[in-house]
Structures are given as structure tokens and as C-alpha cells.
Structure 1
């Protein structure tokens, strides 16, 4: 996901670097030739941008994506090729031509989101020494970062995120000393973070997430006094969180999640008084949470889930600014939802696997809730009273508890996207539950492993945005309604281990193009399986333990004779 801070600074840099030149700039002939040579390397362009690059037109006046400086002989100073929003696929297919290096006055080069531009980054791109911003994002670039990039001494923003670049991150990048932003996220980089990165004294944003980087997080990152955004998530870092990070007191967002970090959370992090979001989830962190962290004055999002942290959690010192908290799957044993959550306005509360017992409480200020996850606890009773006052909640996860109530008496909040109630003791009629529910936004519904009865009503097709439907392991009877074939976004369908009978309707072929998973096993179904993809190529286990299903992938149906 694009970080809002990154977008904000990116936009600001563009505003100040692409000067508002006077009109009637006449395109420099050498630059025009270089751009046309670049165009020949693009074999497919669905954006329509390059169709405006008519060799008979002035590139400064008529070509889309081009900025020029008329006071310097019409030299090209900006080239921006960006994926269009909305409509069909917005791609360019081809390679980056070395002719880009002939644009000697180029200050801003932005090629992003075009998906099919491959090959390597031209080594001679370093000859464009006036570059202040270089964004080659969400393409298919391969190879390594050219060693010659050290010559780009004017560069302030470098993003190569969303490509297939590999090898180690060159330590020589630290000689590009004016860098304010550096993003190498979503690539295939391996090895350590160069210790020399601590010398990038102007750096404000560092994003190395979603790679295969390893080793320890260098203590030298604590020398980056102006750093505001640090994302090292989804890598293979080991060792401890360096205490020196507490010296980068401008930090606002820190994401170290999905690594293999060990040891405790350093109390020095509590000195980051500007910190707004902290994510340390999916590591091997141990010990207790320092009081200094929970009391950070601007902290609004804290995610410590999936670690080995232990009681007691310092909730008494929790910051008034905190809106979102995830403490799931640690060694915490709260017994009940803590009062410092119940009595404040929260947006996201995730306390899965925290040893919570009893009934769901009434939250005193529930109207701002966006999501709640209390899965894998020991909750019992009803849910209506809890969620009746949460009109804007979008995600509810209460799976694997001891909840027992009549599903037909539940009314869902109107904004709900995701409902997961699997593995409880819920009973009642499925038809009664679905009748009158607001289905406008619901994308995921999991009610598996309960005691739900009745038939699947044809009005189920009114859940037109549903992507995932799991009704498995209940006591549902009757037939699969043909209207399921109208659920055009469905990717996951599981009705296994119920009491369904008769045929799988042929109309399901209409959703086959999106369906990735289906399971009909363990029912009383009979007749020919729909003979079209993907139904006739699903594994045979999809259809086992029914009365008499036949046709691929099951044995052939017997002749009516």
C-alpha cells in the first residue's frame, strides 16, 4: 500500500521541481530524437500517451508527459509516464532505452504503474546528472541497481519499488548524499542493509519492505536524525531492535513487522515523541511491553500481534491518542476486554487469542469502530447488543469462541465488509438471517462449523459483492439455488458437510471465471457436475462423499438407457 507521507512529499517535490515555464517552448532537437528512440522500445501502449508523440509536432507543446525549459533552448526537464486511473488495463510493454541518457537537462523522470516495462535499468542513466527525482515503480525491471548511480549527486528522491531487481543493495548508494526519499520496496533484494546508510543525513523516508533482506538492522540508522518514515517489514531480519532507533526522534511511522527479530522491545523507542504508528507484529519478540511506548503522546496505531510478549500489559498508561491496537496471539491473558479499551473511542480493536472470557461487553463509545477481532477466545452469549451501536464497523471476526445465539435474529451493520463467525455454537435459520440484511458492501461471509439449519434461499444472490462464502459444516438442507450463478465476484465457495441434495446447478458455470476454490463434499448431491471450467478440473476431493455425483473429475455419468 502506498504510504500517505511518501505521496505527500513526492507531490511536493514535483510541484517545486517542475517549474511553471512560459509557454511556446520549442523542443530541443537532440532531446526530441532521444524521446523518439525511447518510444521505439515500447511495443505496446494502452495508455495512449505515446500516441501524442508525433514527430511532426513540438514535443514541448503537444506531447503528453513532457515538461521543457524554454529559457534553456527548449531542453526537456521532465518526463512523466504514469498509469491512468480507471478504465481498462493501463500498461506499456517494452524496455527502457539507453537513449534516455541523452536528455542531459532532465530533472524529473517518473515511469510508474505501467507493469510490463522490463529489462534492466540502463547503466548510462547516471549521465543525466541533473536528475533530482527518479521514480521507476511497479514495472518489471530486472537485474541490479547500476553502480554508476553514485554519479547522481543531485538526486533527492529515488524509488525503484515494485520491480524484480535483485542482488545486494549497493553500499555506494550512501554517496548519493542528498537523498531525501529512498524506496526499494517489493523487489528481490538479499543481504544486509549497508551500514553506510547511516551517512544519508538528509534522509526522511526509507522503505526497504517486501524483499529478502537479512542480517541485523544496523545501529547506524539511529544517526538519521531527520528520518520520519521507516519500513523494513516483510524481510528476514534477525537480532534485536537497535536501541539507537530511539535517537531518530523525528520518526512518525515505524514498521518492522514480518521479520525474525528477537529480544525485548527497547524502552528507548518510548523517546520517539513524534511516533504515530508502530508495527512490530509477526516477530519473535519477548518480555513485557515498556510503559514508555504505550504512553507516546501522538501514537494512534500500535500493532504487536504474533509475538511472544507477556503480561502485564501497561494499559493504565495508554496514550489518549491511541485509536487502533492489535495485541493478538501473544502471551497476554486479559480475562476480559480491558476497561481502557471499553471506555474510549477506538477504531480498531484486535485481541484475538488473549484469553478473554464471558459475554461481549457494551463499549461506551462504539460509534467510530471500524474493525474488531476477538477470535480464539472464550466468549459466550449474544452479539446483537454489542454491534447495534456500531453503524460504521466494516470488519467483525469472532471465530472460534463459544457464542450461542439465533442467527435469524441478528441485524448486521450497514457498512459491513467482512463477517467471520466460524466455529461457534450459532443456530437458527439461514433464510431468516439473510432476509432483510444489508448486503450492499459484504465481501466475505464465514459461518462454517456452527449449527445453522434451513435452506440456502435464492435471495443469496443479492450479496452481489461477495467474494468469499463459507457455509460448511452446518445442518443446511435443500438444494443449491441456481441464483448462486449470478454472484459474479465469487472466488471462494464452500458448502461442504451439510445436507444439500439434488444437482449442482449448471448456472454456476457463469461464475467459473473468477472461482478459485469450491467444495461440495459430504452432502447428498447427485447428478452431473457442471462440465465447464473450473468445475470439471477441480480436484476429485471437491465432490467426494455425496450420493451420486458424476462427470469430470468424477467417473462418467451412466447412460439414461
Structure 2
């Protein structure tokens, strides 16, 4: 890989026998290449950011077969195509390639069935979106915006959960959630466009339990279960929790067939996602700490207020997205103590204040992850100057 990148100076310490696990290779002011490893010394996470030289995409990455997370940020000199051999990375869960000069078509990702997140925004990608994206069973985050993509957006699978912003600023994409296609042939996209990917750093797991709440997606009508008297005790417990949750949500009509702070009772929960529900208000309950299996927490575009929970017991978290809410107070220091698997954090567009915690994984996150808050300060934002946390707005 070092050779394919032209023996870059930032990788000067990559020589035979060098130590690479949990080590970042830096070049001032803010260039970084960081690797994390499995217990057997295989590379599991690779993060590259802010490099300033010209190089093709290194195909050697495809030989890192234990890779769970691949992130490349702000490297405009990176060019060429995303290689088709990326399909060999069957353990990959998070792919982020953003603000590069990568061009050509999107890989199919048909064999990358563990992928949770794909971020390929602000690149030079062209052509159509491969239909195989709709077959990825665990895909919950997708951003293909600001490229040169064209043609109809694939339907089915998890594609219904993504909104127009995830496909914005492309050449001629159409179809839900964008405007309808009218005699739109699947043309090859014009010029190549830059690419970006976001990775979520965690080991492959069995099919997760998940809850996703969408404002605009009613639950399907369920026929009465003639065998309900044979429900197992576990099923009965789940039924009670769902009924409590429905009641707490005000018995909305689209939940007519199931009667739901009850979320904290789902102790096996791995994914919790709430999108575009501006009528949802109150606090994120502290009992969320009971969800020790939680890996992905996404709550965006709601009216939830109060402080950010500590998450100190949620040591399996890979992703925390709490943007575009009404959260206030300070960021809890315990976020900096979560294990290395926390690879994505977004607290932007809230009312948070005070100094951003330092240490742990916090160095991974950039200013955009904390933008548009009341008075946050400290790396990666400007320094704090005798700033006391502001009261709740």
C-alpha cells in the first residue's frame, strides 16, 4: 500500500517489521493515517484524512480482509476508481470516502452484506446507482450526494429510509425520494465525481434487533394471530413493551395494532433509529444506559430536549447521531471513555455549550460533527476562553 501511494513521507515509518496497531502516523498540521487491529494483529480499522499529495486509490486495501471500517476524508489528490475487489472485504461495516477526486462508477457491494453505512459524498463518481444496494440487509446510512450520478434510484430493501439529501447535487438522479423519472434512461454519468465513505468500526455480528421510527411510514396492517395463546414468555414481554410504547406515543393511528419509556425495556436492542419526527419531545431517558447491546443510535430532526445521556454503560456503540434536535447543556465527558468501536459521532445543530471532551476517540471527529450549537468550544472547534456552560435555552 505504501508503494502504491508513492512512498509518501507520512508513511516513512512503514518499513518491514514496523509496529502499526493502534498507532497514528501524523504529518503536521492535521494529516493522519490511523490503524486499529484485531486481537490477532489483523488491521480492522483504517482512517486516512487530510493528505495533500496526488495518488491513485491503493488496491492493496482489498487485501485487508478483516477490515471493518474504512474512512478516507479530505484527500483531493486521491484519484482513480473504487476497485471492484472491495467486494472481498466481507467484514466491512462502515465505508466513508468523502471529498476526494475518486471517479468512475459505484461498486455493487453485493458481497459486502455486513455494511451498515456507506458515505461516498463530494467525490467525482458517475454512472448509475447499482440495484444491489437495495439488497444489503444491514444498510442504515447512505450518502451519495454531490457526485455526478444519474438514472433512477433503486427501490426496495432499505432504500425507503433514505431522504432526498442523501442523493442531492447529482447530475440527473430521479425516483423516490427525488422527483419521478420521466423517460429517464440509465445513462452513464458525465464526468467523474469526487467520492467519500464513512465507516463504522465494529466486528461483524448476527442479524441485529432494531427499531426504526419514520414519521411518514405507517406500520403495516397485521392480521390477528390465531395462535396468540401459544406466544412464548419472551414474545409476551415484547408485546407488553410495545403496548406501553404505543401509549406513551399518544396512541397514534398508524400504530393501531400495537399498544409502546418502554424502549429501555428492549434490552437486546442493537439499532434504534428515529428520523423526522418533530412532534417527539421530552428527554432522552437515562435508562437508555440499560441497552448494553446498542450499536447504532440515530435520533434526528425531533423536538427532544435536555442533556445528552452519558452512555457510559453503552460500550458497544459504534454510531451516535443526535443532530437537528433541541438538546442542550454540555457534552458528557463519558463520551471520551467509550471503546475504540465508536467511529461516528454527530451532535450538530442543537443548543449544546461548553468544552468538547478530549481524549479517547474524540480526536476522530471534526468540526462539522459539533457545528451549529449554542457555544461549544475546544478541539476541533476554536479554543475555550473562560466559557461557562450556558443554561438550557
TM-score (norm 2): 0.41
Where relative contact order (Cα < 8 A, 6+ residues apart) is larger, the structure is 2
When Rg is computed on C-alpha atoms for both structures, the one with the higher figure is 1
